[in-house]
Structure formats: C-alpha cells, structure tokens
A and B are shown apart, each in its own frame.
Chain A
Amino acid sequence: MLIYTVRRLGLALLVAIAVSMVSFMLIRMSGDPAIALAGENASAEEIEYVRQQYGFDRPVIVQYLDWGYRALQGDFGESPYFNQPVTTVIGDRIGVTMTLGLCALTFAVLLSIPMGVLAATRPNTWIDRTALSISVMGQAMPSFWFGLIMIIFFGVYLRWLPISGSDTWAHYVMPTIALGYYATPAFMRLTRSGMLEVLASDHIRTARAKGLRWPKILYKHALRNAIIPVVALAAVQLGFMLGGSIVIESVFAIHGIGYLAWQSIGRSDLPVVQAIVLLLSIIYVFLTFLSDLMNAFLDPRIRVR
C-alpha cells in the first residue's frame, strides 16, 4: 500500500507540474500578454511599462520558474482589475464554489444511487426504463438551458425561489439541481451495472438461500460491493463539476470562482484566469489521487498493478 501511495503521489506531482505549464502557456497563446493587460487603447510606453512591471521581457522559462516558485508560496501576483493579490480575490470566492460543488455532488448521489439500485433490482420493468430515460435526458440537456428554464418556472412563475445571488441556502437550490443533474446519468449507470453484476454473483445466492431478508442482502451484501467504483467516480465528478460551474454560476450570478473566471476573461484580468485554471486543475489532480487511494484501500487487488 505504501509503495502504491508513493507511486501515485509521484504521478500526481508530475501531472500537477504539467498542468501548471499548460495554464502558464495558455495565457501566452494570444501573443503578447502585455498588450492584453494594458488594454486596447494603450500607448507604446504604457505597454512597455506593463511588460517590465510583469517581467514579460524576460525569457519564458525564467518567467515560468518565477511564477511557479511564487505560486508554490501562494502568491499569484496582483490582479490589475481589483488591485488586490489574486490569492485574496480567489480566496473570497472559492467557498461559494466549493459549497455549490459539494451540494451538487450530494444531490446527484442521493438521486442516482437509489434510482440505480431500483433499476437493477427490477431490470427491464417500467422503473428501469424510467430511470434510464431520466439519465438519457440528463446527458442531452444543456445545463445552462435547464437552469434558465428553472428560473422561469420556479423563480418567476411560481415565485418559490430567488433567481440570482448566493446569500441564503434557497439561492443554492436551483444551481445545485442544474449542476448536479448533469452528473446523475454517470452515477446511475454505474450503480445499475455494478448492482446487476453483484446481484448475479454466488454470495448473493448464498445469502438468499440462508434466508436473509431482501433489504439486508441488498444494502449489506450487494450495494457495498457495487458502490466502490461509484465512490471513485464521485471524486472525479466533483472535479468536473467545479470546472463546469463557470456556466451555472454565470446563469445564476453566483459569486464563486467560475463567475469570477468568466468576468476576468472578459476584462483581460489574466493573472486571475491563470490562477483559477491552475487551481481547478490541481483540485482535480488531488481528487483523483484521493479516489485512487480510496479504491486501493477498498479493493486490495488494485494495489498489485
């Protein structure tokens, strides 16, 4: 287990370094970042000033190492729009996005696992087909459109829920559903196929022959085995949700880092964009690392590979 952990950790670090390089280079793809930062109507002197101020006149590799070294210490430079350190700007907003991501994940899991179990215990009945069509529809529905439809229906027509902002828990209900619904198909299919496989196995037949009660077999013997891959998927999906929250946050005007990233892109606040891309990628790398460890812990066969 220790060797496995060390190997995985090494891989995660390598990926993190590669990701940091990509998010560093990303900003330089547009050509000269000094022009983007100085604004469209800047004079040649102003651009030159920005170039020296941010050190864009140095070789790219030096710039990267300098940026990386500071980033490791939690310093992503200063945001030209807010005139505040990037770390402070992001720190103020990351809590909102994390809350939204965790709520959406909980919603997706609570909706899809019971549905997957039900569908697996009664395959090819109307329950199975309903669950399947819900998941098929989830994959095809544009999440921003689903959000807008909910705003029209629950926010404007029924007036049950507030339509924008992030002040109270009620503000989170619709964004949670819009963000979480997109992840339900994956969870449901995985739960269903896992349960079908486990339910057909010998130890379930033995448990039934012993005369154990069906709910007990289902939850204690079957679901526990079927849920291992779902746990791993949950970590990965949380990463995707945090990345995808840019769309949902801008629909509901939630002041998290997704909305911040979108606005920062609009006003060429490059240091903030760079830091958010890096941060979301690192969180994803960390989550997959955790899920790998959890998998190896729950299923010893994985460790040997």
Chain B
Amino acid sequence: MKTAETVIESTESGLGLEVVFPTPGQIMRRRMTRHKGFLFGGGVLVLVLLMAILAPVIAPHDPYHQELTQRLIPPIWGENGTWQHPLGTDNLGRDYFSRVVYGCRISLLIGFACVVIAAVIGAGLGLAAGYFGGRVDMFVSFIITVRLAMPAVLVAVAVVALIGGSMQIVILTLGCLIWDRFAVVLRATTQQIRSMDYIPAAQAAGCSTFWIVSREILPNLLNNLVVIATLEVGRAILLEAALSFLGMGVQPPTPSWGLMISEGKEFMLFDPYLITIPGAALFILVLGMNLLGDGLRDVTAPEGKA
C-alpha cells in the first residue's frame, strides 16, 4: 500500500482540483494528537506504567529497608537534603523516592484488577438487563439501586476489617462494590443497540442469543466499556488510597500511597513532604486516568461530546 489516502479527482469541477479524503484511521490519529487531555492522560499512564515495570531499576534503595540513623531526612529542596535520598526518608529511615516508585505498582495493580472484576459483574448485569428487558431488567435495576444505597467506603472498610486486610481482599471487595457505573451505562447502551434493525435481522437469520450478544452487541459496546473502565480505574485507585489511609486496606510495610499518607500524618506538621509527595502522585495518576477516559470518549465518539 503506497498511500492510505483516498484520492478523488473532481473531474466535474473542471478545475483540476483534488479532494483528499482522510481515512478513518487518519481522522482518529488527528483527533488523538490534537486532544490535550488525551495526550496528557496517555502520557501519565505510559510514564507510570514504565515506572511500575522498571521500579527495581529506577529506585535507588530497597523500599522496605529501614535505616534508623537516617530518619526523616528532608527532600533535596529542603535544608540538609542529600542526593542520596532525593525525596528524603520517612520516620523509619526508608528512602521515600523508592517507596513512591514502588507504590505506583500497588495503585496500578489494585486499580486495574478491581476494574476487571467490576467490569465483568457490571457488564454482565447491564447486558442482561438491556437485552432481555422486562423482569430481568426490573431485577437488575433493583440490584443497582440496592448497591447505590450502600455507603461504599464504609462497607469496604467494614468488610476488609472483618476478613483481614490483604491485597486480594481489597481487590475483591472494591471490585464487588464499584460495578454500578458499568451496569448503568451498559444497560442504557444495550437498550439502544437492541432497537437497531440488525438485531431482529440476526434473530431472523436464526442466530442464538449467545451469538447475538457476543458478536452483534458486545463489539458495539466495547467503546463505552473501555471509556468507563479507564474512568473507573481512577475511582478504584482513590478508594484504595482512602481504605489504606483509614488503616483498613493494604497493610504495612507495603508502600501504598494511601498508607504512606496515613503514616506521614503524624509527622506532617514538621515534615509536610511526607504527605504532599504521595498525595501529589495519587492526584497526578488519577487526573491522568480521568483525562484519558474523557479523551478516549471524545476521540472515539465525538458526536456524543457534551
């Protein structure tokens, strides 16, 4: 393929003008590179992913190693800051930069794992409600209402406290709590797709329900699914941070950003960097995920832009 462009010679005009139509791929690429939020969010995600993968290479020290003679060294911009500990050390003398770097692994892992669980539950319920309608729809809507009525943070804190805080428990609990937006949005979208002509056409052709749902409906939902998933990763990361901050999430000495804020709280009056640094990391990552999600929606379906 020499060029991806479709060139139509406008012979009727007689002026020898060429009208160049960009291909869908080109339109998409142009929208992507012009959308600042999308670029920022994508950039943040790529950087944080690299940080997570290359953590052992980037981190100058072991994030668990305590050096009690090196306690509460301020970051490089503070007085007595050293290049040995660019972001200082915490109250146990652990290198803060290494802990922040390793902390992104926890946030990303929990964020994505929760969203996978939530997407399976939410998409299943939403698809069933939207496709079958009637009683199934009523039942699913009822479950969604019940879920929304329960205070998520409180329930999550109670469950984690009762069963015991570990990463698996936190992921399972949050995954089972944040499927609501998947269910709500996918239910509405499925209803829309259900009313398209190609669904009765597939039924008339003798396709099974499973075939219709997986081959006709699901591909049309993917767009929405990816957008919500991206936005929900941000929400899951914030919830994990809140749980760990309350002491009912990931347990010490794991370097979770929420837990680091909680541990630094005691010393924040004299060493505010202990909470500003992990908090800023959380803020940038969640901001990036939200902008990426919004950006994906604008790029893939700009006609629905609010």
The segment from A24-32, A56-64, A109-117, A201-209 found at the interface with B is A24-32
Within 8 A of B (CB), among A202-229: none
Q: A15-B145, A26-B158, A142-B282 are in contact. Are A281 and B153 (CB under 8 A)?
A: no
Contact B151 A243 (CB under 8 A): yes
Tell me if B272 counts as interface (CB < 8 A to partner A): yes
Contact across chains for A280 and B146 when beta carbons are under 8 A apart: no
Chain A interface residue count, Cβ-Cβ cutoff 8 angstroms? 49
Chain A hits for B294, CB < 8 A = 136
Convert A246-285 into 0s and 1s, putting 1 for each residue whose CB lies closer than 8 angstroms to a CB of B: 1100100000001001100110000001001100110011
Q: Which of A140-193 contact B (CB under 8 A)?
A: 140-145, 148-149, 151-152, 156, 189, 193
**Interface majority SS (helix, strand, loop, mixed), chain B:** helix
What A residues does B258 contact at CB under 8 A? Answer: 142
Q: How many residue pairs bridge A and B at CB < 8 Å?
A: 131
B140 at the interface (CB under 8 A from A): no
Binding site for A on B (CB under 8 A): 142, 145-146, 148-155, 157-159, 161-163, 234, 238, 241-242, 245-248, 258, 261, 265, 268-269, 272, 275-276, 279, 282-283, 286-287, 290-291, 294, 306
| Residues in chain A within 8 A of chain B (CB atoms) | 11, 14-15, 18-19, 22-23, 26-27, 29-30, 36, 136-137, 139-145, 148-149, 151-152, 156, 189, 193, 239-240, 242-244, 246-247, 250, 258, 261-262, 265-266, 273, 276-277, 280-281, 284-285, 288
> Contact at B155–A26, with CB atoms within 8 Å?
yes
Which residues of the other chain, A, contact B287 by a CB distance below 8 angstroms? 136-137, 140
Main secondary structure of the interface of A (DSSP, over half): helix
Identify which of A140, A151, A288 contacts B290 (C-beta below 8 A): A140
Out of A140, A142, A266, A280, name the residue touching B151 (CB < 8 Å).
A280
Considering the complex, give the chain A residue whose CB is closest to the CB of B162: A30
Closest residue of chain A to B138 (Cβ to Cβ) is: A11
Q: Which residues in B have their C-beta under 8 angstroms from that of A139?
A: 234, 286, 290
Of all A-B residue pairs in the complex, the 9 with the closest CB atoms, nearest first, are: A243-B151, A30-B162, A145-B279, A140-B287, A140-B286, A281-B149, A18-B146, A280-B151, A265-B161
